[in-house]
Amino acid sequence: MAKIAMLGSGFIGRFYADSLQGQRSRDKIVSIYSRREESAKKFAADYKCDHWTTDMEEAINHPDVDMVCISLPNNLHEAAVLACCKAQKAVMCTKPLGRNAEEAKRMMDAVEKAGIFNGYLEDLVYTPKFLKALASVKSGALGRILWAKSRETHPGPHSEWFWDKEQAGGGCMLDLGCHCVEIARSFIGKDIKPIEVMCWSDTQVKPIDAEDHAIGLVKYENGAIGQFEVSWTFRGGLDLRDEVMGSEGTIWLNSFLRTGFDMFTTGKGADYVAEKAESNTGWLFPVGDELNELGYNHMFADMFNAVEEGRAPQETFYDGYIVNAVLDACYRSSASKQWEPVKLDVWRGKEGVEKEKPLTSYNEQFYLIKEEMTHFGSQKLILKDKKTGQIVEKVI
């Protein structure tokens, strides 16, 4: 049983509180820290938590606490992590780990030096659909992964600090791109090094200093490409979609906006529909089990099981650091309008992976480019001569 201090009583803290008992039904929040007394008291009452405080270290050092969950604004993550290291308490931190890779690396170094458990709360790599898709990819169902694309768009975040570039560290690219980069990285292989990026971002709609829309390409050492599309300007709700293309197949995932649950209402009696929903009238797309569909239940089950089993969870602070490093390169690319290298001071994956050559032999003379059945019933082959390089077509 994990006894948790929750740092932060806002939107994500409540999402976490609603879900951390989702699968195991034995873990409990025993202390809540909030910067505002009224928020701390209400959270404690809502979740039947005996201890509340406006002193962060008091919550972390509470004698009943053995694990800390950080659901604070980005600029407060590092101070909270360092306090956990000082108290020798296991720590889980919401995404993104840091406002940049330098900040993330300091946190990673601190927890590793302290020897404490560290988990990176990247919920979208724990959704049931993602876990099933990843298992298929790892079993080889798609062959060699060539392209992984992830999209997260919505009308913008809930709390005021997200919109402040200093507190948040960036705009939609940091807020949403951290999900998308880790999703693509997981499909391509977390041991494959991201080497360079090309990114466009702009502030198209919102009156803020940070970007509200971005598109990026992440090139990996083995020749695979990751792609993300993120926006705080999308109208219509929360759109979560992923696509994976391999040499032997394709997977499409639609995790939220089009769920197979469609509803029309005039609005009579309607209230909350789904996260980031913009309306409660007309045609709506509710979500059957929001906490489960967004991966929170599976994520916390992995974190708590990992602690008890003495292993690292699926997502650690190291993963958060890699994601921050990729996004740092994206911000540099957006400014320079050029491909920018991903700067990794720490890399624990494969080194010197060569791009695989796409050569499928048909016979001694030819490579196979494509094989298909025509509409008139014949088999067509597109072949490349191994010696001359000539492309030929054969109909059988």
Backbone φ and ψ of 20, nearest 5° = -70, -15
153 and 114 housed in the same domain = no
**Does residue 187 sit in the same domain as residue 309?**
yes
Q: What is the rounded CA–CA span in Å between residue 23 and residue 299?
A: 10
Q: What is the pLDDT of residue 270?
A: 62
Q: In terms of Cα–Cα distance, which of 126, 129, 119, 127 is closest to 89?
A: 119
Residues 171, 216 within the same domain: yes
Chain position carrying tokens 């502030």: 203
323 and 194 within one domain? yes
Burial 212-237 (b: 16+ CB within 10 A, else e): bbbbbbbbbbbbbbbbbbbbbbbeeb
Q: Are residues 240 and 178 in the same domain?
A: yes
Q: Is the Cβ–Cβ distance between 217 and 225 less than 8 Å?
A: yes
pLDDT at 358: 79
Burial 102-126 (b: 16+ CB within 10 A, else e): ebbbebbebbeebebbbbbbbbbbb
Which amino acid appears at position 286 of this protein? P
Cross-strand bridge partners of residue 240: 152
Judgement on whether residues 96 and 222 belong to the same structural domain of the protein? no
Cβ atoms 184, 246 nearer than 8 A: no
**Residue 46, domain member (yes or no):** yes
Identify whether residues 207 and 245 lie together within a single domain: yes
250 located within any domain: yes
Do 250 and 229 share a structural domain? yes
- CA distance linking residue 386 with residue 315, whole number of Å: 45
Give the CATH number, domain containing residue 22: 3.40.50.720
Would strands 90-94 and 67-70 be described as parallel, antiparallel, or unpaired? parallel
Q: Do the domain assignments include residue 156?
A: yes
Phi-psi domain of 304 (left: phi exceeds 0; alpha: psi -120 through 50; beta: other): alpha
Same domain, 160 and 89: no
pTM (two decimals):
0.93
In a structure prediction context, what are the per-residue pLDDT tens digits for the chain, which is 396 residues long?
Answer: 899 999 998 888 998 999 987 778 889 999 999 999 999 999 999 999 999 999 999 999 999 999 999 999 999 999 999 999 999 999 999 999 999 999 999 999 999 999 999 999 999 999 999 999 999 999 999 999 999 999 999 999 888 999 999 999 999 999 999 999 999 999 999 999 999 999 999 999 999 999 999 999 999 999 999 999 999 999 988 999 999 999 999 999 998 887 778 888 887 766 666 666 777 788 888 888 888 889 999 999 999 999 999 999 999 999 999 999 999 999 999 999 999 999 999 999 999 998 888 788 999 999 999 988 888 888 999 999 999 999 999 888
- Please give the C-alpha separations between residue 359 and each of 209, 366, 370, 383, in angstroms, as whole numbers: 48, 10, 11, 11
Total domains, the chain = 3
Place of tokens 């000539």: 390
Model confidence over 358-391: pLDDT tens digits? 788 999 999 999 988 888 888 999 999 999 999 9
Task: Judge if the upstream peptide bond of residue 96 is cis by omega within 30 degrees of 0.
Answer: yes
- If asked whether residues 194 and 104 sit together in one domain, one would say no
- For residues 58 and 72, membership in a common domain is answered with yes
pLDDT at residue 24, as a whole number: 84
* Amino acid identity at 67: M
In a domain, 353, yes or no: no
Domain carrying residue 381? 366-395
Q: Rounded to 5 degrees, what angle do the CA atoms 226, 231, 236 make?
A: 120
Whether residues 38 and 141 share a domain: the answer is no
Asked if residue 349 belongs to a domain, the reply is no
